[in-house]
Amino acid sequence: MMPKRVIVLCYRKIIGLNAVKAWDKMVFESSYLEFKMQAQNFSVGTEYTSYAELLHNLPGARRLNGMVTPSVTGYVQQLNGIMPDLLNNLGRRFLTFKKFKLEIINSDIIDMAKHQVAISFYSEPMVWHDTIGDFLLVSDHLPENQLPGENNKAITNLIQIQPYLNISSLQYLN
């Protein structure tokens, strides 16, 4: 019998000035305000305004990722544990997550247009059954899936391999 492949999918969602969806815009604005506020704890007494300058000159500024995160938590919670954007081949969102990571890509205390963040969503463990074309055939990795359940049947989804979607971990289970 083939060992079972259990994977975690990571979707890195980039949000910047051009955000169009309501959720994306709110995350953009909220994370920018928080960046601006928190970054001034580091920039005080300096002339630095960009995230890159702050990192370059004050390595402690790396903490800004964690400091800005509480500004998006409420929005992430509003997703109710289903990843945005990523659809199965029927056009529905289905990937569940409990963990996320906010990352500041670029920003500037005096220029909102420079602000760009990424939110990485980490899926719950999934079984990767097969690959069909550029689609992965996956199902939730539930404890009962490990048992030879009803006819060994699993509810599956096809998800296309696409930019910003990564298999972030792989585990073989016998």
Partner 1 sequence: MERKSFLKSLVIGTIAAPVLVEACKKDTDVATTTSSSSGSSSSGSSSSGSTDTGTCSVVPTETEGPYPTHSPASYVRSNITDDRTGYKLTVKITINNSNNSCAALSGALVDIWHCDAAGNYSEYGGSGTQSTNYTSVHFLRGRQTTDANGLVTFTSIFPGWYTGRATHIHVHVYNSTGTSLKVTQIAFPEGTGTALTAVNGYAKGMTGYTYNANDNVFSDGYSLELASVTGNTTDGFVLTISLSVPA
Q: Which CB sits closer to partner 1, 130 or 144? A: 130
Q: What single-letter amino acid sits at 131?
A: T
Beta strands in 52-155 (DSSP E): 97-106, 116-123, 126-132, 135-140
**Among the candidate windows 98-106, 123-131, 141-149, which touches partner 1 by CB under 8 A?**
98-106
- State which of residues 1, 2, 3, 22 lies at the interface with partner 1 (CB under 8 A): 22
31-90 residues in contact with partner 1 (CB under 8 A) are 33-34, 36-37, 40-41, 44, 51-52, 55-60, 62-63, 65-67, 69-71, 73-78, 81, 84-87, 89-90
Residue 136, interface with partner 1 (CB under 8 A)?
no
User: Which span sits near partner 1 by CB under 8 A: 22-30, 124-132, 138-146, 148-156?
Assistant: 22-30
Q: Does 19 help bind partner 1 (rule: CB under 8 A)? A: yes
Do the strands 4-16 and 116-123 form a parallel or antiparallel pair, or are they unpaired?
antiparallel
Per CB under 8 A, 7 contacts partner 1: no
Give Cβ neighbours of residue 95 (< 8 Å, ≥ 6 apart): 9, 11, 82, 83, 86, 121, 123, 159
CB distance 71 to 31 below 8 Å: yes
